[in-house]
Amino acid sequence: MSSERFDYLVIGSGIAGLFAAIKAAEKGSVALVTKRKLFDCNSVYAQGGISCVMEGINKKDSFESHIKDTLDAGAGLCNKEAVSVIVNGAPECIADLIELGVKFTKRGEVEDDCTIEESDKYDLGKEGGHSRRRILHAGDVTGEELIRALVKVCREHEDIKVFENHHAIDLLTTSRLGWGDENNQCMGAYILDVDQDKVKTFHSNITILATGGAGKVYQYTTNPDIATGDGVAMAYRANAQIANMEFFQFHPTCLYHHKTKSFLISEAVRGEGAVLKIKKRGKYVEFMDKYHELKSLAPRDIVARAIDRELKETGEKCVYLNITHHPVEVLQKRFPSIYEKCQSLGIDMAKDVIPVVPAAHYCCGGIKTDLKGRSSLDRLYGIGEVACTGLHGANRLASNSLMEAVVLANNAVEDAHKRNQKCNGAAIIAQFNSIPDWSRGNATDSDEQVVITHNWQEIRSFMWDYVGIFRTTKRLQRAKRRIRNIQQEINHYYWNFVITPDLIELRNLACIAELIIDSALSRKESRGLHYNSDYENTSNAVLETIIRRR
């Protein structure tokens, strides 16, 4: 059985993982592990951009304004210190991204009234919940540009070893290895080399989880197939604290068309004036004025619930975005990929309304970390969507996620480097040498793929119906009974048959579903992204919902 040893083990290749790997490579050897290819990550699909107060560019903006907008969107549950630290830390990280080769759109590259003055400066967009223009973007393919630049650096860096098609199974901890529960520490991970069909032991002084989100736990999602909550599930099984999993954000505007799935219509489209409408008696009618003073630019939780309510009241299958007030030239330049996608489906954004529905988009909860990315498990860090810093509270402000990812990646590596310097290297190596290889036990091959497929589909279906935008206690209890039964089946299957990527993801997905259900049941109020019609007030607020494996 083969093993690998590194100073830093980074699991995940989204913006958080790539940025962390680059920063960590300045301090020591890095293993960058991803279960598919480096480009197969959730970050690559980010359209809108990355929020940051750009001093000297938009003189009307300020850190105080950005902090206020974030706190307002978070429905009273944001960690104020987290908001301040991350918002103020963004400019330095943006400068690093630009130095690494990221090309954000500048003023002269978009000739319309969507931009600010000063032609040699960056074009700043505006999205729902933001009171000022502060969204740096690369057209409407910001994530793709970020990943392009960072992947290039990672592939060329001599101290970063990339492991593609390597699927993390479980974290290595001193407790798991039977070395006592006191000061439980993470020492790496067991990882399946998919191409060679064998499990490797990865030893590391520091493990950084950057595995992204868990949107595939729901039937309808903007997330790609890789978003199965692997990092949160692994951390939970390793006894790390998990926070606020009930706050799952549903993006209001996923393209509704039978020829495509999971295609996001960026919030930036509404930021540039698109208006939500619903079809009534043959006419397209605005409706968001009934729900919020910001109308179509209201925070995402409010917009998603409003759309859900309108669809249920009218029986319509979708609502519509109207941005026909902009000429075709403007739309093609500002939203090239969205325009092209719509055009391929027979929708001309300059003339036609765009059919949209809400879909699961972003997990505001995750591994509970501090502002240096430290989890409750020693030597384990969480960054990006896998982590819960308290920045988002009960609802994420648009484009704050990429900002958080780079700031926390930077903070985590700085802290981990200091932690490494204080470690007793000889003692660590001695511990590594006694770590046992993975044992498959009596597991046998199975041709029962239908079991995995059926359980996967069932989880996603009842999570959408019972634990979605609109919840009740009875629905949550029904979902809890269902997930218990499925968990028993999965555990039996997991310990008796050979490990495969599909089985690893199913096991993690079931864990995520149960964490969301249990967190939702424990919050006796409606707030932000969590709406339970049995508790329609916000008088029973608790700052965090914490779950830890018993």
* pTM across the whole model: 0.90
Which domain-ending residue is among 308, 330, 360?
A: 360
Q: Which of 11-20, 59-68, 106-115 has the lowest mean pLDDT?
A: 106-115
- Count of alpha carbons within 13 Å of 496, Cβ hemisphere only? 9
Is residue 40 situated within a structural domain?
A: yes
Task: Specify the pLDDT at position 451.
Answer: 81
Strand order in the sheet with 366-368: 387-388, 366-368, 242-243, 546-547
What mean pLDDT is predicted for residues 94-119?
72
Which DSSP state fits 158?
T
Q: Which of 81-90, 227-236, 335-344, 413-422 has the lowest mean pLDDT?
A: 413-422
State how many domains the chain has: 3
H helices present in 497-537, as ranges: 501-522
CA distances from residue 480 to 93, 243, 463, 509, 518 in whole angstroms, order as listed: 41, 18, 10, 14, 8
Residues 522 and 409 in one domain: no
Residues 241 and 374 in one domain: yes
Which DSSP state fits 453?
H
Task: Specify the pLDDT at position 51.
Answer: 96
Q: Strand 242-243 to strand 366-368: parallel, antiparallel, or no bridges (unpaired)? A: antiparallel
- The domain of 371 spans 3-246+364-433
Assign residue 476 the CATH number of its domain: 1.20.58.100
Residues involved in catalysis: 300
Task: Specify the pLDDT at position 491.
Answer: 85
Query: Residue 198: pLDDT band by 50, 70, 90 thresholds?
Result: very high
Assign residue 198 the CATH number of its domain: 3.50.50.60
Residues 114 and 150 in one domain: yes
Between CA 469 and CA 21 the distance in angstroms is 36
| 308 Cβ contact partners less than 8 Å away, ≥ 6 residues apart | 358, 469, 470
User: Quick check: 507 pLDDT over 60?
Assistant: yes
Per-residue pLDDT tens over the stretch 263-294: 889 888 998 999 999 999 889 999 999 999 99
What mean pLDDT is predicted for residues 315-343?
94
**Candidate ranges 103-107, 178-182, 442-446, 534-538; pick with highest mean pLDDT:** 103-107
Residue type, 161: K
Residues 30 and 155 in one domain: yes
Task: Specify the pLDDT at position 261.
Answer: 80
What mean pLDDT is predicted for residues 384-395?
96
> Chain-wide mean pLDDT for the chain?
90
Between CA 349 and CA 328 the distance in angstroms is 7
Residues 30 and 118 in one domain: yes
Determine if residue 481 is left, alpha or beta; phi over 0 gives left, psi from -120 to 50 gives alpha, anything else beta.
Answer: alpha
* Longest Cα–Cα distance in the chain: 75
Closest CA to 205 of 1, 421, 436: 421
Which DSSP state fits 223?
S
Query: Residue 180: pLDDT band by 50, 70, 90 thresholds?
Result: low
Residues 37 and 105 in one domain: yes
Q: Strand 166-173 to strand 186-193: parallel, antiparallel, or no bridges (unpaired)? A: antiparallel
Residues 202 and 138 in one domain: yes
Is residue 274 situated within a structural domain?
A: yes
Whole-number percent of the chain with pLDDT over 70: 92
**426: which 2 tokens?**
């000889």
How many residues does the structure list for the chain?
550
**Residue 30: what are its φ and ψ, rounded to 5°?**
-130, 130
Which DSSP state fits 530?
B
Which domain-ending residue is among 433, 465, 489?
A: 433
Is residue 440 situated within a structural domain?
A: no
Residue 317 or 241, more confident: 241
Per-residue pLDDT tens over the stretch 449-485: 778 889 999 999 999 999 999 999 999 999 999 999 9
**Quick count: other Cβ atoms within 10 Å of Cβ 468?**
20
Whole-number percent of the chain with pLDDT over 90: 72
Residue 436 or 198, more confident: 198
What mean pLDDT is predicted for residues 243-263?
92
Residues 45 and 91 in one domain: yes
Which domain-ending residue is among 312, 332, 360?
A: 360
CA distances from residue 91 to 74, 85, 101, 104, 136 in whole angstroms, order as listed: 22, 11, 16, 14, 11
